[in-house]
Homo-oligomer: A and B are copies of this chain.
Amino acid sequence: MKTHTATAIAHPNIAFIKYWGNRNTALRLPHTNSISANLRDLHTCTKVTFRDDLTADTLHINDQPAEDGALKRVSLFLDLVRTLAGINSNAEVISSNNFPMGAGIASSAAAFSALALAGSAATGLSLDEKALSRLARRGSGSASRSIPAGYVEWQAGSDDADSYAVSIADENHWALADCVAIINASHKIIGSSLGHTIADTSPFQEVRLQTAPQRLDECRQAILQKDFERLATVTELDSTMMHSVMMTSNPALFYWEPASISVMKEIPLLRAKGLAVCYTLDAGANVHVFCEASSKQKVHKLLAEFPGVQSVIDSEVGGPARLV
């Protein structure tokens, strides 16, 4: 019996300039570039073992057998890896997160970037960063951004071959922290994979896409120049633009909860008083509050006191997906 195994760690990421809506759903080719930062203190660790004696892929997450839906998505992704490597073996996948599941921290980016790296390495493939980012993208669009280090831009590209992420600056470039205000969602809402497919039903999606290049330039420059005020303005605008698209799509998607609004309204007031903070929200109710790493504890404490904020999870900016 041949056994091929590899283990990888990858971080989730949070976007300053968002990804919402695909040009090609099957290939997860986005309409526009997006820019994010990896979250150092959160990670997924995934071990993949291809074994000839397995009759099917298996998946455990945090020591529990995964649900059928998750297993199927992973199995379809492993088919891409098997095709690349020219093998037929089934795989045992064992994954764990150091952050709470179901708290609304997007776990799919970390999951599929770790799986892309561990899965390809287990077959003996040695993919470069670009190829890994392209592969991870097929599992979850934003997973492409968890492959490179630090501050990352996913280049939309024109097809599968040139749609991948690159590092704008590594994790040591600018000491920022993300304090995530965890907010309970009172209603179940549509998942982001399905959400992407209805983005085009919003009357605002087209202009959001048309004006994205300006915001991407602004954000990239703000990061390179470490200009917090500039980063804050464009990040909050881009977040609200994405949520405006969501809330005006058909059906309307309201990810914001009452406590999300409380935090969102307070952050610009704190900034006006001199504290370097800005917010952004993914497809969920949690509010990601960026600040300088030196004020992480202060911001954590401020957020923890908000009514409706259940807990606060902090992270500084992290490195690339890597084998362990």
Contact = CB atoms under 8 A, between A and B. Distances in A.
A254 B187 CA distance: 23
A248 B252 contact: no
Interface residues of A, number: 29
Interface in A235-292: 236-237, 240-241, 244, 247-248, 252, 254, 256-262, 264-265, 268-269
Nearest to A258: B258
A207 interface: yes
Interface string A176-215: 0000000000110000000000000001101110010000
Contacts of A257: 261
A204 to B, nearest CB: 5
A269 B187 contact: yes
Indicate how many identical chains form the complex. Answer: 2
A189 to B, nearest CB: 9
A211 B207 contact: no
B236 A252 contact: yes
A308 interface: yes
Contact of A261 (B204, B206, B236, B258): B258
Contacts of A244: 204, 240, 244, 247-248
A206 B207 contact: yes
Grouping DSSP codes into helix (H, G, I), strand (E, B) and loop, the A interface class, with mixed when no group exceeds half, is helix
A274 B206 CA distance: 33
A256 B244 CA distance: 13
B254 A265 contact: yes
Nearest to A259: B258
Nearest to A189: B265
B248 A256 contact: no
Contact of A240 (B237, B247, B308): B247
A308 B262 CA distance: 13
Contacts of A269: 187
A236 B250 CA distance: 11
A241 B207 contact: no
Given A187-B265, A203-B208, A240 B252 contact: yes
Nearest to A263: B258
A281 to B, nearest CB: 12
A258 B208 contact: no
